[in-house]
């Protein structure tokens, strides 16, 4: 499945759970995840979306580690089937 379709499905599923998933744009700070997932009760995570089987680029891996070292969860999604489980994990954290 194409990245754009997976991204669309993520935003719809987040909205169904009462949250939002705005695009994360950070001028001058390349390699940040595509979306910030904001769910009820202060649940937050970053999500990078990829085409199925595609891996994070080295800079994206570095940004992921930086965000995680600050205590933020970061997920890489390359299949629609992963979304529900990831959202469950974010909500239960």
10 CA to centre of own chain:
8
| pLDDT digits 0-9 by tens, 57-90 | 999 999 999 999 999 999 999 999 999 999 999 9
Residue ranges making up the domain that contains 55: 3-92
Q: Please give the Cα distance from 61 to 56 (Å, whole number).
A: 6
- Which residues lie below 8 Å from residue 45, measured CB to CB, with a gap of 6+? 36, 37, 72, 73, 74, 75, 86, 90, 93
How many domains are contained in the chain? Answer: 1
CATH number of the domain that 56 lies in? 3.40.1350.10
CB 21 within 8 A of CB 11: yes
| pLDDT digits 0-9 by tens, 27-46 | 999 999 999 999 999 999 99
Read off the pTM: 0.94
| Confidence at residue 4, expressed as pLDDT on a 0 to 100 scale | 87
């Amino acid at each position: 499945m194409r990245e754009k379709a997976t991204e669309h499905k993520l935003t719809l599923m987040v909205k169904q759970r009462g949250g939002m998933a705005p695009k994360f744009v950070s001028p001058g700070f390349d390699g940040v995840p595509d979306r910030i997932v904001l769910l009820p009760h202060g649940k937050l995570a970053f999500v990078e979306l990829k085409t199925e089987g595609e891996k994070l680029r080295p800079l994206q891996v570095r940004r992921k580690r930086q965000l995680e070292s600050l205590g933020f969860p970061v997920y890489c999604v390359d299949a629609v089937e992963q979304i529900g489980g990831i959202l469950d994990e974010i909500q239960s954290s």
